[in-house]
């Protein structure tokens, strides 16, 4: 069952929470909604669940418009951001509740509830009430309750925000395996980009009620469509530097404060366009003074085990990069950096749009390849 | 002596600085409260003592213990020339009235409270405001009008009639109280039930109602007590001795004759009051849970 949003908008009294959302989710796909607080992630899930009606547009399950289908008839499982457990029931009854509504006989439904509880490592807590559980345990009850009826569509609103790091990684794998095994179409909301990158087939990046980019994790990382996506993905975040483009005969010069370099690429933009240069920390290398493009003074050193994360300033602008452990660089040293020219991003200063990316797209289209978009 | 172990402060301690400030506060409030409740305590004491004595010295010390005043328990007492109906009939009627009132009131206000808390309909805010206004409305002012209405409906001189009128007067307040409880139930929990396969009504009684149980307990207790202690409506609308209740029973002891038998009156009064006291002792926990936060969604 495909899920399709067609020009979907949701307005709350005077606030536009979602505007003109268009996307399709394939059957059995695992999609993450990623975005800052208040960008409309929960609202999107609520519309899928049937708890909110879209103000405008249609939502399709398959080729059927389901705008007005009642939640109970959608066969969905949902984990709410607040867990929303039933406080008056034991964990066992909480998990078995969806089955009870389907009139599954008591024995079978408790059996299935216990099986699902084992999956989320809750088998020892079945007789407790939700108030006697920790936040992480409550969250897992919510997860089990959403999974127990093996729904067609699983909606997860930050289902792992309260778990400790190790459990989180375990649950990630567990959930991912289960999802693939049962082929449940899953939409998960998360704040945690790492979680999204690790679990999702595709990630939709939302900002202010609009999808910024909807793509596979690799594509998002390698070809961010705009500054927002570039800034949002990647930890530590991408470095951004102000610059200007000056056209040359068969390329262009990127000219910024205290640096300039030649790029053998052509962009269809006016001369002297102001741009934002984006370079991921991993794409910067410490080099000799002669080969260096950026010159910076080290202001902070973080040891991350396998490598070191360095912060430095070029004049006013901060820049971050990685060096291997054996490089002897001290606080206050002046160092020279060279970017991997294949991996730099050029964003329009005005619109934030990725100028290279749109070039790549047209390039791909000319070549007749698919898969980039 | 170290300060940490000084849980119960001894008032005669040598160094007053050892007496913690908070302890002193508690002692002072106890003294004030005791002082203020003394008159109430003596009232009850007097009621009890005078019900079991034939005569009292200095108004409070019983001269001779007797159960003569409690004779209404095993015989139909006569006041003046009239014989009163059995107290057990009155008790039964009072129970019937209070119980019926509780059932009607709870069912209606739980449904109304839910609607006011959770649903969107035109005039919701107006309803909510008028609910409060209706509560403040003096019921005495309605007596004559209600008399006509009951008479037309053929409900005059029946417990049913009184029950309905009393319920109508009480429902606004209990609706308002229970609405506050519904407001406290998170939407997410109700939504969760919808997703798990309930329709709205199923979600209501399987998930929401269990969560407002303390509220239902509170309004049940309130309406039961209100029914138990109702007097004015009974006095106005009921004439037949078959429909006598404890309140009107007491009134008959006082009212029909010049010479009031105070012993009998106090004994019957105590009899009338005992269930309420026990009821209160056992249910005060539920009563205390009540928050008047019904104004969250006006
Ligand atoms: N019931 C509502 N009434 C009015 N405005 C609402 C309502 N629900 C959400 N909003 C607004 O819509 C916007 C999107 O809300 P939403 O809950 O979808 O954000 P979110 O992406 O889930 O954020 P978070 O990550 O913090 O949970 C917010 O600006 C919010 O204030
Ligand atoms: Mg949210």
| Chain B residues within an 8 Å CB radius of A78 | 192, 195
CA distance A72 to A82: 20
Q: Name which of B48, B87, B56, B95 is nearest B71 in CA terms.
A: B87
Break chain B down into helix, strand, coil percent, rounded to 5.
70, 5, 25
| Chain B residues within an 8 Å CB radius of A83 | 188
**Ligand 1 mean position, distance from CA A42 (Å):** 7
Print burial letters for A187-197: b (CB count within 10 Å at least 16), e (below 16): bbbbebbebbb
Of all residues in chain A, the percent with pLDDT exceeding 70 is 95
Among protein residues, the one with the nearest Cα to ligand 1's atom 12 is: A17
CA distance A334 to A370: 45
Predicted TM-score (pTM) of this structure: 0.80
> Burial level of A121, CB count in 10 A (0-12/13-18/19+)?
middle
Which residues of B lie closer than 8 Å to A, measured between beta carbons?
186, 188-189, 191-199, 202, 207, 210-211, 213
Q: Is A191 on the interface with B (CB under 8 A)?
A: no
Q: Which residues line ligand 1 (CB under 6 A)?
A: A 12, 15, 17, 35, 37-43, 81
Contact (CB<8Å) B191/A84? yes
Best mutation target among A46, A51, A130 (most B Cβ atoms within 10 Å) is A51
Please state the atom number of ligand 1 nearest to the C-alpha of residue A45. 18
Q: Is A82 on the interface with B (CB under 8 A)?
A: yes
Q: Report ipTM (2 d.p.).
A: 0.82
C-alpha to C-alpha distances, A16 to A10, A19, A207, A208, B233, nearest whole angstrom: 6, 7, 12, 9, 55
**Ligand 2 mean position, distance from CA B41 (Å):** 56
The residue extents of the domains of chain B are 16-66, 84-288
Nearest CA of chain A to the CA of B119: how many Å?
14
**Tens-digit pLDDT string for chain B (298 aa):** 344 444 444 444 445 555 567 788 899 999 999 999 999 998 888 888 888 887 766 666 777 777 877 888 888 877 777 778 888 899 999 999 999 999 999 999 999 999 999 998 999 999 888 888 887 778 788 888 899 999 999 988 899 999 999 999 899 999 999 999 999 999 999 999 999 999 999 999 999 999 998 889 889 988 998 999 998 888 888 888 888 888 888 888 887 556 777 788 888 888 998 888 888 888 777 666 655 444 444 4
CATH number assigned to the domain with residue range B84-288, chosen from the 4 options 1.10.3720.10, 1.25.40.10, 1.10.1740.10, 3.30.470.30 = 1.10.3720.10
Nearest CA of chain A to the CA of B266: how many Å?
45
What confidence tier does A251 reach under pLDDT thresholds 50, 70, 90?
confident
């Amino acid at each position: 069952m495909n899920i399709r949003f067609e020009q979907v908008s949701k307005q709350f009294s005077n606030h536009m929470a979602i505007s003109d959302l268009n996307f399709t989710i394939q059957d059995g796909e695992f999609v993450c909604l990623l975005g800052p607080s208040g960008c409309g992630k929960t609202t999107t899930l609520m519309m899928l669940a049937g708890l909110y009606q879209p103000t405008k547009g249609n939502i399709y399950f398959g080729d059927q418009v389901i705008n007005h289908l009642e939640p109970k008839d959608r066969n969905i499982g949902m984990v709410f951001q607040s867990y929303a457990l039933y406080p008056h029931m034991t964990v066992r009854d909480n998990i078995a509740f969806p089955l009870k509504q389907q009139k599954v006989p008591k024995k079978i439904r408790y059996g299935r509830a216990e099986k699902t509880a084992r999956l989320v490592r809750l088998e020892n807590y079945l007789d407790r009430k939700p108030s006697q559980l920790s936040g992480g345990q409550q969250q897992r009850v919510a997860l089990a309750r959403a999974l127990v009826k093996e729904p067609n569509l699983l909606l997860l609103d930050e289902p792992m925000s309260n778990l400790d790091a190790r459990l989180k990684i375990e649950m990630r794998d567990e959930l991912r395996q289960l999802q693939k095994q049962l082929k449940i179409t899953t939409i998960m909301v998360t704040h945690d980009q790492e979680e999204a990158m690790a679990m999702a087939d595709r990630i939709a990046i939302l900002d202010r009620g609009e999808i910024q980019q909807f793509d596979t994790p690799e594509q998002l990382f390698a070809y961010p469509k705009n500054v927002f996506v570039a800034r949002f993905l990647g930890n530590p975040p991408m470095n951004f530097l102000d610059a200007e483009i000056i056209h040359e005969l068969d390329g262009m010069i990127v000219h910024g404060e205290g640096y300039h370099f030649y790029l053998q690429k052509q962009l269809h933009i006016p001369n002297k366009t102001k741009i934002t240069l984006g370079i991921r920390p991993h794409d910067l290398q410490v080099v000799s003074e002669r080969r260096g493009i950026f010159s910076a003074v080290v202001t902070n050193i973080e040891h991350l085990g396998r490598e070191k994360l360095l912060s430095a300033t070029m004049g006013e602008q901060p820049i971050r990069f990685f060096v291997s452990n054996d490089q002897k660089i001290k606080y206050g040293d002046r160092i020279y950096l060279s970017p991997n020219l294949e991996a730099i991003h050029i964003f329009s200063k005005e619109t934030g749009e990725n100028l290279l990316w749109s070039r790549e797209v047209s390039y791909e289209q000319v070549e007749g390849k698919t898969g980039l978009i | 002596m170290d300060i940490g172990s000084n849980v119960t402060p001894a008032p005669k301690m040598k160094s007053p600085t050892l007496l913690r400030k908070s302890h002193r506060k508690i002692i002072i409030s106890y003294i004030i409260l005791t002082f203020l409740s003394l008159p109430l305590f003596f009232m009850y004491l007097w009621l009890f003592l005078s019900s079991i004595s034939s005569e009292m010295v200095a108004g409070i010390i019983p001269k001779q213990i007797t159960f003569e005043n409690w004779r209404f328990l095993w015989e139909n007492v006569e006041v003046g020339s009239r014989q009163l109906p059995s107290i057990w009939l009155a008790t039964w009627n009072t129970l019937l009235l209070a119980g019926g009132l509780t059932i009607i009131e709870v069912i209606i206000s739980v449904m109304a409270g839910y609607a006011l808390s959770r649903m969107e309909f035109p005039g919701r805010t107006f309803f909510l405001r008028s609910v409060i206004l209706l509560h403040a409305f003096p019921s005495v002012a309605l007596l004559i009008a209600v008399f006509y209405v009951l008479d037309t409906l053929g409900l005059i001189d029946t417990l049913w009639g009184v029950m309905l009128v009393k319920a109508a007067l009480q429902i606004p307040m209990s609706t308002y109280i229970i609405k506050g409880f519904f407001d406290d139930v998170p939407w997410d929990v109700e939504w969760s039930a919808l997703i798990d396969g309930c329709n709205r009504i199923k979600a209501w009684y399987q998930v929401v109602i269990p969560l407002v149980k303390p509220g239902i307990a509170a309004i049940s207790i309130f309406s039961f007590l209100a029914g138990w202690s109702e007097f004015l409506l009974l006095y106005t609308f009921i004439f037949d001795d078959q429909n006598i209740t404890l309140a009107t029973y007491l009134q008959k002891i006082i009212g029909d004759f010049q010479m009031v038998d105070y012993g009998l009156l106090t004994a019957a009064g105590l009899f009338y009051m005992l269930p309420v006291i026990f009821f209160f002792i056992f249910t005060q926990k539920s009563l205390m849970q009540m928050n008047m936060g019904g104004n969250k969604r006006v």
